[in-house]
Amino acid sequence: MISVGVVGATGYAGGELLRLLLRHPRVEIATITSRGHAGAALTDWFPNLRGETDLRFSEPQVENLADCDLAFFATPNGTAMQMVPQLLAAGTRVIDLGADFRIKDVKVWSQWYGLEHACPELVEEAVYGLPEVNRQAIRAARLVANPGCYPTAVQLGFLPLVEQGLVDLDHLVADAKSGASGAGRQPKQNTMLTEVAESFRAYGASGHRHLPEIQQGLARAAGRPVELTFVPHLIPIIRGIHATLYGRLLDSEVDLQALYEKRFRDEAFVDVMPPGSHPETRTVRGINVCRIAVHRPDPGRVVVLVVEDNLVKGAAGQAVQNMNLMFGLNERVGLADIAVIP
């Protein structure tokens, strides 16, 4: 059994992780943490888990996690980096669902996150946890930087085109929409029901912190820098990301459907839909799947539609997928759910 700890277990990503981990046949949950609620029951925060667990929170301290094989951090950016060096030294592997280890250039990370990095020496070692790109490295990693929700959707959607040099890398566009759970459980005025329902707006149009993460991943795939316009939007749904990606094609003959099907043929969690499809967020609600449809409105233009659940393939499900790889399990273990419709 893999003994795991979850830091940030009162939050949305932590709760989703526990929903998945409680049904994982090879996991034993040793520790869950909350700063203000030590001693309280997990089910007080997630009543959906009643009957599944009697876990109670403890304080997020290294000594409460150091006996685990693996610690997940489902915590705000800037949290994991405070404990990771001591945990790795104690032999505990780490998956950070936050952004502390995603950006290789620590200066760039500091500019976007407004923090000084607490352990820059570990950033290079950290493996970016997008299994569809880094599977081999994830297997051996001590420290995995789980990707952001938007970066997962945008990178998976663009990868086949970028890897093959089929699009103009100076004019990529990603128009992405997220449900309100993407903003976390902490009360914030702009994600209140009364502020989100019956409305729709963009945010971060002049710069969002996921831009450098996406550009880093696509540049690695392309072998050269890429220019991307990325605009996120908040939509009045609870879960789900829909990304519409635009590119100028450099090859008007290429069979895009065949390209995408071939690239993701062996990927358990990427579904390339039939030609002409328009994927819906509800088809991935609660499951670790990214669905993609590729369109060519005219010979020089490609439009890619991508959906995922921000809390699953965009966070907790991807973290479980990474854990499976790190511990030599089949990637699909514990991730076999089917989405609920309607």
Ligand X SMILES: CC(=O)N[C@@H](CCC(=O)OP(=O)(O)O)C(=O)O
Ligand Y SMILES: NC(=O)C1=CN([C@@H]2O[C@H](COP(=O)(O)OP(=O)(O)OC[C@H]3O[C@@H](n4cnc5c(N)ncnc54)[C@H](OP(=O)(O)O)[C@@H]3O)[C@@H](O)[C@H]2O)C=CC1
Residue ranges in contact with ligand Y by CB under 6 A: 7-14, 34-37, 60, 74-77, 79, 97-98, 148-149, 181-182, 184-186, 310-311, 314-315
DSSP 181: G
**Would you say 74 or 119 has its CB closer to ligand Y?**
74
Cβ atoms 248, 304 nearer than 8 A: no
Query: Sign (positive/negative) of CA torsion 102, 107, 109, 110?
Result: positive
Cis check: omega of the bond before 225, within 30 degrees of 0: no
Q: How far is the CB of 81 from ligand Y (least distance, A)?
A: 11
11 near ligand X, judged by CB under 6 A: no
Q: Which residue has its beta carbon closest to ligand X? A: 182
Query: C-alpha angle 333/83/183, rounded to 5°?
Result: 65
Q: Which of 68, 119, 149, 290 is catalytic?
A: 149
Q: Is 290 marked active-site?
A: no
Q: Which of the choices ligand X, ligand Y, none does residue 85 contact, using the CB cut-off of 5 to 8 A by kind? A: none
Q: For residue 112, what are its two tokens?
A: 């976007």
Q: Which of the choices ligand X, ligand Y, none does residue 232 contact, using the CB cut-off of 5 to 8 A by kind? A: ligand X
Q: Which of the choices ligand Y, ligand X, none does residue 212 contact, using the CB cut-off of 5 to 8 A by kind? A: none
Q: 204 to 233, contacts with ligand X by CB under 6 A?
A: 210, 232
| Of 8, 15, 98, 212, the one binding ligand X by CB under 6 A | 98
CA 69 to chain CA mean position, Å? 22
Beta-carbon contacts of 239 under 8 Å, excluding residues fewer than 6 positions away, are 179, 181, 281, 285, 286, 309, 310, 311
Q: How far is the CB of 14 from ligand Y (least distance, A)?
A: 5
149 near ligand X, judged by CB under 6 A: yes
Q: How far is the CB of 272 from ligand Y (least distance, A)?
A: 23
| Of 183, 219, 303, 339, the one binding ligand X by CB under 6 A | 183
Q: Which of the choices ligand Y, ligand X, none does residue 234 contact, using the CB cut-off of 5 to 8 A by kind? A: ligand X
**Would you say 212 or 334 has its CB closer to ligand X?**
212
| Of 31, 33, 75, 77, the one binding ligand X by CB under 6 A | 77
Q: Which of the choices ligand X, ligand Y, none does residue 329 contact, using the CB cut-off of 5 to 8 A by kind? A: none
Phi, psi for 312 (deg, rounded to 5): -110, -85
| Of 60, 129, 182, 240, the one binding ligand X by CB under 6 A | 182
Q: How far is the CB of 295 from ligand Y (least distance, A)?
A: 27
Distance CA 220, CA 163 (A): 9
- What 3-state class would DSSP assign to 71? strand
Pairing label, strands 201-202, 228-234: antiparallel
Beta-carbon contacts of 280 under 8 Å, excluding residues fewer than 6 positions away, are 307
Distance CA 127, CA 95 (A): 10
Beta-carbon contacts of 161 under 8 Å, excluding residues fewer than 6 positions away, are 167, 247, 259, 302, 304
**Would you say 93 or 209 has its CB closer to ligand Y?**
209
Q: How far is the CB of 183 from ligand X (least distance, A)?
A: 3
Residue 108: name the closest of 192, 190, 225, 26 by CA. 225
Catalytic residue list: 149
Q: Which residues bind ligand X (CB under 6 A)?
A: 77, 98-99, 148-149, 178, 182-183, 210, 232, 234
